[in-house]
Homo-oligomer: A and B are copies of this chain.
Amino acid sequence: MADVADLAGVHTATASRALNPSTSRLVNAATARRVRTAAEQLGFTPNTTARSLRTKRSFTVGVLLPDLTNPLFPPVARGIEEVLTAHGYTALLANTDNDEAKERLRFEALRGRQVDGFIVGTARRKHPLLDDARAEGVRIVLVNRTTDAGSFPRVAGDDDAGMRAAVEHLAGLGHRGIAHLAGPQVMSTGVTRARAFREAATSAGIPVARSPVLPTDAYTVQAGAEATRELLDRHPGITAICAGNDLIALGALHELRAAGLDCPRDVSLVGFNDMLFADEFQPPLTTVHVPHHALGAESARLLLEWLEGDGGPDGPGAKTVLLPVRLVVRASTAAPAAG
């Protein structure tokens, strides 16, 4: 670092500040450029590991996501990265595969690397790992899902409004038998959407017997297909389905096709998320658009506020930020056939 400072003709402290993403703003732009050029000429890479021991900061944020192959999560990750990068932080992503053991392993690996905080998309309603870490002072912002204890700042889509819009759309088309294939009830999204469905169906004057809720055990195509099979067996009279998410909806689409039923002629179908390619399905899926990129960006802003602000260890507190969602009507919904 002293050599870099010499070559750039500045004090060592200035060179150090210029090469630290979190302090480079404090250095005149032309000077910072000169320092960076000098560092490049000398092949100097700031040793962030050594620096983090001195400053107790790593300028690194751990991001836990449950399943990168569910197309809703890559845009969340991208939103997080864009905001963190702009502030000199690096996001370290880890995929938990919805597996508690993997999650614990990766969470502890990231803690061991002294990350400054976490953005967590893997919350379950009961989540001792997160509760314990919070109690120990670890800074954690939740994205999308939350825990029942609810002691974390959190960003999510407005699931309640989204499900209401879906049910009102179907009721408005004339449907009087609407089922909900609910997401896993161990996750807050599964519970919130199911509750909103129940309330919206009641508001629309649809009796409980004509608005069954079938829970699934995973947000997957396979779970959606299985629940649809059960639905067709037990409730042959329904003419529309609200799915807990788009993957469940896709499983429903497969199962309807296998049963010789046409969507939307025989059964209308609404998804949730508006994930990548939901508009390419046969038929293109009517669904609730959730702004996943914005969810990621907003959660990163909440965490930065905590890390950089003077809010103390409690930071933004357990506030919930809900971003607006909107129904996107495509070809999987139509009025029910006469009779």
Contact = CB atoms under 8 A, between A and B. Distances in A.
A74 B78 contact: no
Nearest to A250: B280
B102 A45 contact: no
A92 B95 contact: no
Chain multiplicity (copies): 2
Nearest to A50: B53
A262 interface: no
A90 B46 CA distance: 21
Contact of A280 (B69, B91, B112, B282): B282
A251 to B, nearest CB: 11
B69 A75 contact: yes
**Count class of interface residues, chain A:** 35 or more
| Most chain B beta carbons < 10 A, residue from A93, A105, A276 | A93
Contact of A112 (B46, B68, B92): B46
A61 B53 CA distance: 20
A49 B47 contact: no
Interface string A58-72: 101000000011010
Given A45-B111, A280-B277, A94 B95 contact: no
Contacts of A48: 109, 112-114
Contacts of A93: 92-94
A125 B170 CA distance: 52
> 10 nearest interchain CB pairs?
A48-B112, A68-B74, A93-B93, A92-B92, A69-B74, A90-B109, A277-B277, A282-B282, A49-B114, A48-B113
